[in-house]
Amino acid sequence: MNQRRPVRDRTGMSTAPIGWSLVILIATCGPARGQFAEEGPAPAPLTPPMIGIAEANFDRWVFGSDEASQAAYDRLERVLTVRIGDLERTCGLSPAQKNKLLLAGRVDIQRFRAQVAAARSTFDHLRSDRANLPAVTAETRSLAKVLAGDFFGDGSIFTKTTAATLDPAQQAHRRAVLAERGRLRHRALVARAVADLGMKVGFATHQAERFTGIILAETSPPERPAGPFEGKLVLYQIASIPASKLQPIFDDYQWRALNRRLVDARSDEPSLRAYGLLDSTGSTSTTQPD
């Protein structure tokens, strides 16, 4: 296939010399076209490929899977329903209070949706270049953390509205219920730790009972949920009890075996401090007894 431009008869149409026309013609066509005469149209030059981030990653990073976003919002609705049901059962909410709290909770969910939408917009803007991956993942990670944590806890509109909506008597009830729940969890963790240590160290049950009593007297539930560090925090609290109070419970063999484990528990202090479960002095941030 010949790519050369056909030479037209320009007679009577222009005064330009034919020589100039030929020069322009040759310059326009170029010799390279002839190389592709047998191979079809010439390809445009390839630009270097850019590596982007696929859209589906956003949902995966925030919600856990591609299709999990709606399920996550549904779960938040269920959490809200259960929370309001608990308040209704323990504090006796009026219909107006219930509706107000339901609205507040949904505002939280809506606010989270808006945060997700904004993050998704940023993600769409940045995802064309893989170099933006750290910025993108930082944002998605923070959203995922919110979703996995205590969504309607401190800082949420729901909690603030609850505090403003309940009357003093209801608030007293609520505080009592929360304290009871915290104590139950703390007692459970202490019982678990004592049972576990009992198997490893070889406590008798009467020793375990005395041990448990001292632990419960000397420690308190943490001020905020310790999440995956609950067990370590309780062991650290046990390890922080003065040895003079614990050692008399056990005989020499038992105490040496126990003390090795308590020393090991103290080594978790950096992790607990990094998680914000210990204050600057190394003591546990605990709730005030009612």
Per CB under 8 A, which of residues 202..261 are in contact with another protein? 202-205, 207-208, 225-232, 250-251, 253-254, 256-257, 260-261
Confirm if 191 and 212 have CB atoms less than 8 A apart. Answer: yes
Q: Which is nearer to another protein, 19 or 48 (CB)?
A: 48
Q: Which is nearer to another protein, 20 or 253 (CB)?
A: 253
| Cα–Cα–Cα angle for 219, 221, 222, rounded to 5 degrees | 110
- For 112-134, letters b (16+ CB in 10 Å) and e give beeebeebbebbeebbeeeebee
CB of 162 to another protein, least distance (A): 13
CB of 182 to another protein, least distance (A): 9
Distance between CA atoms of residues 19 and 280, nearest Å: 91
Query: Hey, what are 259's tokens?
Result: 């003390």
Q: Which is nearer to another protein, 25 or 216 (CB)?
A: 216
- Which residues 6+ apart lie within 8 Å of 228 measured at CB? none
Confirm if 229 and 277 have CB atoms less than 8 A apart. Answer: yes
CB of 289 to another protein, least distance (A): 18
Q: Which is nearer to another protein, 60 or 100 (CB)?
A: 60
Q: Which is nearer to another protein, 10 or 192 (CB)?
A: 192
CB of 198 to another protein, least distance (A): 6
Q: Reduced to 3 states, what is the DSSP secondary structure of residue 281?
A: coil
CB of 7 to another protein, least distance (A): 28
Q: Which is nearer to another protein, 9 or 39 (CB)?
A: 39
Restricted to residues 72-131, the positions that interact with another protein (CB under 8 A) are 74-75, 78-79, 81-83, 85-86, 89, 128, 130
Distance between CA atoms of residues 287 and 290, nearest Å: 9
Distance between CA atoms of residues 9 and 15, nearest Å: 12
CB of 194 to another protein, least distance (A): 7
For residue 202, which of 265, 249, 268 has the smallest C-alpha distance? Answer: 249
Restricted to residues 153-182, the positions that interact with another protein (CB under 8 A) are 181
Of the residues 67, 196, 279, 290, which one makes contact with another protein according to CB under 8 A: 196
Amino acid at residue number 150: D
Q: SS3 letters for 239-252?
A: HHCCHHHHHHHCCH
Restricted to residues 10-69, the positions that interact with another protein (CB under 8 A) are 39-41, 43-54, 56-57, 60-61
H runs (alpha helix) in 92-167:
95-126, 133-148, 157-165
Restricted to residues 132-151, the positions that interact with another protein (CB under 8 A) are 133
Q: Which is nearer to another protein, 160 or 192 (CB)?
A: 192
Q: Which is nearer to another protein, 10 or 89 (CB)?
A: 89
User: Should residue 264 be labelled a site residue for another protein when binding is judged by CB under 8 A?
Assistant: yes
Of the residues 28, 199, 242, 244, which one makes contact with another protein according to CB under 8 A: 199
CA of residue 173 relative to chain centroid, distance: 31
